[in-house]
Structure 1
Amino acid sequence: VSNGSGLQNERITNLLVFSFLKNCPSCHFHEELAELSYELPLPAHLREEYDELQTDGNRNSHFHFQSFQGRLEQDSGSQEEVIQSIAERLAQIGDEMESQVHPSLVQNLARQFMDRNLSEEDRRKHLATAVDRVMQTCLLDMELEKKKLMLTMLLAKKVADHMPSLLRDVFRTTVNFINQNLLTYVRNLARNVRT
């Protein structure tokens, strides 16, 4: 993988995870997310949208996958818009599945992220273990990779909501985990939605 495509991959994943978290208006980490938005290579309009979301708090919760696909097929928008729309839809599914994530799992993962002696690789392993546990108990009929992607970001959201000061660490580890395990799926998902 060349440096250019590596940076592009990280940009896509940053945008996906950020957009997923941005679509969680009832969470306690909005201030931290707004600060993070200025540290990431994100489109400027996303920061403006985030600011509007913070003051408005509205999000369309009646969003069906068929209308999602239809809208994107008609829209000749950029890859960024496609990624943001995918993140929005996954956030909505995550909202519905949130109750299936046991609070003790979130608390344990947050405790692990607070350990400053852990390497990034160890954090990824803890996240992977938590995702695997939720995958076993989560009743959701969707393809395996999509379920894993959504649950990975849902866990990041829940840990950041439980302890907002961990947002940067959780965000970075989540992006790294997705890049390592689900990047091909994310790219294919974006490509398939656009065509």
Structure 2
Amino acid sequence: MESEVTNGPGLRDERITNLLVFGFLQNCSNCNFHEELEALGQDMPMRAYLQEDCDDELQTDGNRASLSCMERIEADSESQEVIQNIARCLAQLGDQMEHSVHPRLVNHLALQFMNVNLSEEDRRQCLAAALQQVMQTFPKDMEKEKTTLMLTMLLAKKVADHTPSLLRDVFRTTVNFINQDLLTYVMNLARDVRTSAVSRLAFR
């Protein structure tokens, strides 16, 4: 049973993915979903997660946990800053590339997300199919994983821009997609950025 649990993304990994997608959407220009994004942000405060973790530790281990908890908050805060920088750079790249995403494809994907009969897995497959179409039109000189990550979040932005009420649904599906298919790349990217200067990010 333990091996099954460790195969999927951990709780902290999911929070990192949430922060990455949220940060990307927050940094995109010309968006029509500011109110919806603000409401979403109210429901996923990252520091509240960290404080809940600390409270749980203090209840079980007493004051001995306080020092390690503070150290972990500092480490997590650094990780959040790294993820936010990655999100910002990818959003800038997305702004440059979004004209290449055909409006008809966005409209079709939005209609699919409006279908209440679709399961979450169905929506993930719809996102994957749209991503595959968009990938064919993009230059091949970019790193494939980076392109895939950026375009996945760009499609989420385009759908939310098309129909702001779909923001929560497309956000959840995008996070699930990244956790299933791109989580290792995201973690490796965060590790590499953490050990180098932000100015060395090759997102141009």
What band does the TM-score fall into relative to the shorter chain? 0.7 to 0.9
Identity of aligned residues (%): 69
Q: Which runs of 5+ in 2 are unaligned?
A: 49-76, 196-204
Distance 1:169 1:85 in 2: 24
Q: 2:198 aligned with 1:194, yes or no?
A: no
RMSD: 1.7
Aligned residue number for residue 83 of structure 1: 83
Q: Is the 8 A contact 2:82 2:193 kept in 1?
A: yes
Aligned residue number for residue 48 of structure 1: none
Q: Which runs of 5+ in 1 are unaligned?
A: 45-76
- TM superposition score normalised by structure 1: 0.80
Distance 1:35 1:124 in 2: 23
Aligned residue number for residue 93 of structure 1: 93
Aligned residue number for residue 11 of structure 1: 15
Give the ranges of 4+ consecutive aligned residues of structure 1 lying more than 3 Å apart after TM superposition: 1-5
Q: 2:43 aligned with 1:39, yes or no?
A: yes
Distance 2:185 2:20 in 1: 12
Deviations along 1:61-99, one digit per CA (max 9) or x if unpaired, are xxxxxxxxxxxxxxxx70000000000000000000001
Aligned residue number for residue 27 of structure 1: 31
Distance 1:88 1:108 in 2: 27
Structure 1 residue 26, shift from structure 2 partner: 1.8
Tell me the amino acid that sits aligned with residue 22 of structure 2. Answer: F
- TM superposition score normalised by structure 2: 0.76
Structure 1 residue 2, shift from structure 2 partner: 4.5
Distance 1:101 1:5 in 2: 29
Pick closer, same or farther for the CA change 1:103–1:5 going to 2, 3 Å. closer
